[in-house]
């Protein structure tokens, strides 16, 4: 092949490569322009602001008595963090509220009576059920001490009633299993139990239950492909 033929061949290859590169760049630009990901705001499934005042009955539990107020407070904080404009009125325990309306359960008549007596537009109430604790015992490698924890399964069921109609506006349930209240015992017989209040005893269990249970009140974010 002569020199001028070789040169012409190289020029054609170089030209074709430039055309190919331009086509690839154009294709990428077109694809990028046609489809890309954007953050989409998903509003809460349940908006509470239409209710002027929501009456809150202290959540009940089959656990320690101190757990009810702790759970209720945690729940109210979670809801108001999600929807700060919500106004709550704490009504007291289930027994106190039901005695005020002369009812035994939160039935249709009870809910409507609560609305009239306490002047609230809705009523929120929840119940926490704790399973029997299951011990988890671990011996040290030297057999000089033993550490034990207790795992518990907890379920939280909540409801929101409208007082003008007595109907259930919203309900949800959440379930979690957690290790609670660590204790330790040495071979000399000394036992240490570190659980003086609900927050220490149940650790992350209550916040996790509440966070899962209140998901319908929060804004969510999703990434979606858009054109």
Mean pLDDT calculated for residue range 128-136: 73
Q: Which ranges of the chain does DSSP label H, i.e. alpha helix?
A: 3-34, 67-82, 94-100, 108-118, 198-202, 205-213
Q: Which of 118, 43, 45 is nearest to 88 (CA)?
A: 118
Report the alpha-carbon distance of residue 123 to residue 114 in Å, rounded. 8
What is the token pair recorded at 134?
């299951």
The neighbour count for residue 191, using CB atoms within 10 Å, is 10
The domain limits of the chain are 3-34, 43-225
- The residues near 63 (Cβ < 8 Å, ≥ 6 apart) are 128, 130
pTM check: above 0.85: no
Mean pLDDT calculated for residue range 32-47: 81
CATH of domain 43-225: 3.30.160
pLDDT, one tens digit per residue, over 67-86 is 899 999 999 999 999 999 99
């Amino acid at each position: 092949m002569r020199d001028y033929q070789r040169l012409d061949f190289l020029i054609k290859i170089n030209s074709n490569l430039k055309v190919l590169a331009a086509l690839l760049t154009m294709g990428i630009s077109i694809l990028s322009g046609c489809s890309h990901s954007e953050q989409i705001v998903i509003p809460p499934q349940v908006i509470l602001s239409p209710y002027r005042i929501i009456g809150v009955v202290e959540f009940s539990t089959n656990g320690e008595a101190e757990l009810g107020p702790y759970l209720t407070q945690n729940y109210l904080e979670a809801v108001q963090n999600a929807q700060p404009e919500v106004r709550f009125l704490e009504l007291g325990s289930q027994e106190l509220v039901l005695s005020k309306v002369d009812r035994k359960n939160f039935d249709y008549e009870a809910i409507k009576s609560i609305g009239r007596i306490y002047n609230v537009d809705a009523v929120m109430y929840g119940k926490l059920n704790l399973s029997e604790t299951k011990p988890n015992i671990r011996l040290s490698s030297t057999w000089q001490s033993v550490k034990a924890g207790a795992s518990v399964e907890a379920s939280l069921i909540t409801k929101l009633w409208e007082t003008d109609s007595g109907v259930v506006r919203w309900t949800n349930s959440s379930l979690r299993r957690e290790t609670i209240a660590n204790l330790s015992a040495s071979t000399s017989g000394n036992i240490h139990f570190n659980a003086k209040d609900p927050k220490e005893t149940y650790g992350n269990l209550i916040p996790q239950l509440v966070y899962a249970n209140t998901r319908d009140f929060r804004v969510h974010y999703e990434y979606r492909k858009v054109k």
